[in-house]
Chains A and B, each alone.
Chain A
Amino acid sequence: MPLPAYLILAALVFAIGLFGVLTRRNAVGILLGIELMLNAVNINLVAFARFRADIGGLIFTMLTIAITVAEVAVGLAIVIAIFRVRRTIEADHLDLLRG
């Protein structure tokens, strides 16, 4: 398959993830949407690494995968901590910082 096929697929998954981030009410659902967006970026990185014959894209993908795992761990810990205090993880109800 040519490079644009992979890039368009990645763009589609990124757009779907963005839709999830924008529309989900639940904080965990928003995190899942962010996962999809990061995943789409990884497809782009690997595709460019393949079609430019450059190892850097693969290294970058490994680093982003590991960073994403850390981000998920911290994000879900924050969700659990918020849930303990507020008894909800509805993003619309978490407006403590609203003026």
Chain B
Amino acid sequence: MIAETVGFWVMAVVLVGGSLGVVLTPNLFHAAVLYLPAALVATGAIFWLLESPFLFGVQLLLYAGGVVTVVVFAIMLTERLVGASIRQGSRFVFNGAVLAAALFVGVVGFIVQRAAPPAPPAPAGEQMVALGRALVGPFGAALQLLAVLLVAALLGALYFARAED
């Protein structure tokens, strides 16, 4: 229990710090290769703390692996085209901060009003089996639709980013 508490606070600090780095650093490349992966890996570690090690793996593979790679490719392509390092300015900082803080305060106010449910005992060991059964059972249609969506998205990305000729 104490390990979970310590892990939660460490990961919370890394996650919030990484997130702030993503939205505040002036160098877009640092945001993409340093702060975003830190935030995403910390999120995966929080999935692990919530007893979902499989989602930790999915998060590492798809987010920290795939998304970061694609973002870095996009930045390199646009910087290569313009031939200079892209500045990453911010605007409306005060308005954005007020709106984000108001949203945070509102959501937290709603959360603390509600009594926390007691944590049920963790289902031991069979999470992978349950996930697999759910994915081919009640969620089978969603899985197939996801496959269609991925193919459509990849074809769409290919179409948008193809070379003009």
Contacts and interface: CB of A to CB of B under 8 A. Distances in A.
Interface in A28-67: 28-29, 31-33, 35-36, 39, 42-43, 46-47, 49-53, 55-56, 58-59, 61-63, 65-67
Contact of A69 (B12, B62, B86, B104): B62
Give the dominant DSSP class at A's interface: helix
A92 B89 CA distance: 11
A76 B112 CA distance: 38
Nearest to B135: A59
Contact of A16 (B28, B31, B70, B100): B100
A76 B78 CA distance: 10
B97 to A, nearest CB: 6
B150 A22 contact: no
A52 B117 contact: yes
B138 to A, nearest CB: 9
Contacts, number: 234
B165 interface: no
Nearest to B117: A51
Contacts of B32: 28, 32
Interface centre among A14, A68, A76, A92 (most CB of B within 10 A): A76
A15 B62 contact: no
Contact of B58 (A5, A22, A49, A62): A62
A64 to B, nearest CB: 10
B55 A62 contact: yes
B41 to A, nearest CB: 11
Interface string B113-126: 01011011011000
Given A33-B23, A63-B142, A78-B160, A25 B82 contact: no
B78 A53 contact: no
22 contacts: A8-B108, A13-B39, A14-B104, A16-B100, A17-B19, A17-B23, A18-B96, A23-B97, A29-B23, A29-B28, A32-B31, A33-B22, A43-B46, A46-B55, A58-B52, A58-B55, A67-B149, A69-B67, A70-B149, A70-B150, A70-B154, A76-B161
